[in-house]
Structure 1
């Protein structure tokens, strides 16, 4: 599939053949000590909007997997019915911690509608990120759904209720009030047209979640469209040397690069975000009812994720069992955060579409797990010489970050689902994707 971006480049998505039909069964156990310490450190942290978003997603996937799009019982579990407790659709748990985090995002919603945006109270509503706050939308929608603020055959969102109103404000802001470039690509920044790799995890899954929970086909379609547009702008095409097939970090609307580096975290945001959009599309209808365009979009997303992961794994430092901060530059430090993100994405894709993941990639993902997960201390810091990007100084390494802890939990969750699936405990989403022509 040829994809032309908005700044004159062409990116080619490969049509991969199914060289691997299945991956080996694995009985993988979680490291509960890591989980406990990571959650404690996360809950003790002060978080910006994007950190809040990845935090609550990590809590969702680890603590309440049947409320996530990856492991939910099926499309019916996203259909509201009469609202209230009936929205649980047989789920025995109420996603208490997700709802609490959603309320935190609502309380910190700014005048634009950006969820979780007010941290100090000194933020300028006309500046900063336009889309980081969208990373909190799915959790607010879950809170609305679980609290009975979404009801009826059409999944009507109560925009006068606490969570329903907050979700509506965030959705309207991101779809109506942010600058757009060519073909409708949404800017990552408030005061200029600029596109960041982070956006794959911030706004595109949010659009998909809104479409899923409110049965809004346009939102689901836009989620896919924005992924495609962002790939067109940020993905390095064939002939780009060591950067081929990888995501540059920040690009201006005129085509110049504000940051041309291929950050490992950027590759992780991209892969994980595309998988979340694919999962939401896969849960939007039963497998027998999915439209051909939706099926095609899911297949595209899975292949795009596979292509990105293939390019990333080609840069993996097998001696260190980690990726470098700039994946194509071995002089940069080895980054725990992005390595955990890519490992999580690898396990997720291996679970959903094993034919699109090589054994080598899966071996790399497990190597990251074993190198990093055992070395978290009770203060939420990584030891044994491990480093991650310092959230307060992106050009220097630190010893912990909210995103690295969250990515670790996402890896634990993805690895757990992979282990179950490889031993026959599949999910509705897995069975839906098995019926697609990959």
Structure 2
């Protein structure tokens, strides 16, 4: 085989191992949701719909999907929303239709919010987390609630963006009007970038101002992150704190966001060199079992190790990179 074929074969084998490891690891609602999203974007629709079915089977009485013992979260379960909604559209199965509608009803009418209407992250605490960028607004957008999706993105940015650092903080207490955790967590900034990309992709042409505004947020976030990219193509766990451990998942989250941003026409192609560099660095950290090592580790996210969301974002990054290569090939 040619070197190119060898490379593509090796990539395919690595992707298969990463997917297998992901399916063995995903447990909680957000893990199941990001796994299902990764399968959707990778074209593995049948498996994504199986995860969606299980998310509906574990839907609690509030409408939150895929709940185990993480019912304390306001937005995490909405990470399953797109897979369930796509399954409803594709199959017409009342199970999926009701499941998506109940999840949407929770977010719109029952979930705790700030006085400005921004979704909190924890039911019994007045906290806004950066994680919610990815969990709720994309589902709101693909469900046709574009104004609400944009409102949430605007609200999260207002509360969490540090204009001096050009990075997002992690957790804000809405009642105390202060940060619980002001650190610029790498994976958190990855959640924000990836969430914004998915909302941009869903906004209609009739909302050019909103699309442009979120695209501007995205570019600022990417630029702020890349300012802290290490020579090895990775970031520290807290992006602007080199005393924290070197972490893997943020790099593939930012890489994914760049590939999709260029494909959507909201980022310049000059960013691809950084996406490629981060992607290569991540590939070097996948072990023989398909585990993406050195990630901010589940379940406590306080050390390097492995995590289902990191497995999923490897698949998301690979899908986006493949789509970009195909587009470039078609253009040539």
Partner of 2:15: 35
Is 1:252 matched with 2:173? yes
CA distance in 2, matches of 1:380, 1:112: 36
Residues 244-302 of structure 1: per-residue CA shift (max 9 Å, x gap): 221100111032111111111111111110110111114xxxxxxx32xx111111121
* SS in structure 1 at match of 2:25: coil
Q: 1:344 aligns with which of 233, 256, 261?
A: 256
Q: Which has the higher contact order (CA 8 A, sep 6+)?
A: 1
Contact 1:344–1:365 under 8 Å retained in 2? yes
CA distance in 1, matches of 2:18, 2:187: 19
Q: 1:130 aligns with which of 69, 74, 90?
A: 74
CA distance in 2, matches of 1:113, 1:46: 20
- TM-score scaled by structure 2? 0.92
Q: How does 1:337-416 map to 2 (within 5 A)?
A: 337-353=249-265, 356-357=267-268, 359=270, 361-382=271-292, 386-398=293-305, 400-416=306-322
Gap runs ≥5 in structure 2: none
Greater C-alpha Rg: 1
CA distance in 1, matches of 2:39, 2:55: 14
Partner of 2:31: 51
Contact 2:64–2:77 under 8 Å retained in 1? yes
Is 1:303 matched with 2:209? no
CA distance in 2, matches of 1:421, 1:300: 25
CA distance in 2, matches of 1:308, 1:59: 26
Is 1:63 matched with 2:43? yes
Residues 313-333 of structure 1: per-residue CA shift (max 9 Å, x gap): 011112x21011111011111
Q: How does 1:20-31 map to 2 (within 5 A)?
A: 29=8, 31=11
Is 1:167 matched with 2:97? no
Q: 1:276 aligns with which of 198, 206, 212?
A: 198
Partner of 1:231: 157
> Greater share of helix residues, 1 or 2?
2
For residues 381 and 316 of structure 1, do their structure 2 counterparts lie closer, same or farther at Cα, with a shift above 3 Å needed? same
Partner of 1:152: none
Q: 1:116 aligns with which of 66, 69, 81?
A: 66
Deviation at 1:189, TM superposition (A): 1.1
CA distance in 1, matches of 2:29, 2:126: 20
Contact 2:29–2:70 under 8 Å retained in 1? no
Deviation at 1:124, TM superposition (A): 7.3
Contact 1:29–1:416 under 8 Å retained in 2? no
CA distance in 1, matches of 2:80, 2:39: 12
Gap runs ≥5 in structure 1: 1-26, 65-94, 150-160, 212-218, 283-289, 427-438
Contact 1:351–1:418 under 8 Å retained in 2? yes
Contact 2:15–2:290 under 8 Å retained in 1? no
> CA RMSD, aligned part only?
2.0
CA distance in 2, matches of 1:255, 1:323: 29
Residues 407-426 of structure 1: per-residue CA shift (max 9 Å, x gap): 11111011111112223359
CA distance in 2, matches of 1:307, 1:46: 31
CA distance in 2, matches of 1:175, 1:168: 10
CA distance in 2, matches of 1:421, 1:304: 25
CA distance in 2, matches of 1:258, 1:220: 30
For residues 124 and 323 of structure 1, do their structure 2 counterparts lie closer, same or farther at Cα, with a shift above 3 Å needed? closer
CA distance in 1, matches of 2:150, 2:92: 28
CA distance in 1, matches of 2:227, 2:111: 36
Deviation at 1:374, TM superposition (A): 4.3
For residues 138 and 124 of structure 1, do their structure 2 counterparts lie closer, same or farther at Cα, with a shift above 3 Å needed? closer
Is 1:330 matched with 2:252? no
CA distance in 1, matches of 2:241, 2:70: 36
Residues 57-81 of structure 1: per-residue CA shift (max 9 Å, x gap): 11111125xxxxxxxxxxxxxxxxx
For residues 210 and 245 of structure 1, do their structure 2 counterparts lie closer, same or farther at Cα, with a shift above 3 Å needed? same
Count matched residues: 325
Residues 42-93 of structure 1: per-residue CA shift (max 9 Å, x gap): 11224111111111111111125xxxxxxxxxxxxxxxxxxxxxxxxxxxxx
* SS in structure 2 at match of 1:257: strand
Partner of 1:9: none
Partner of 2:326: 420
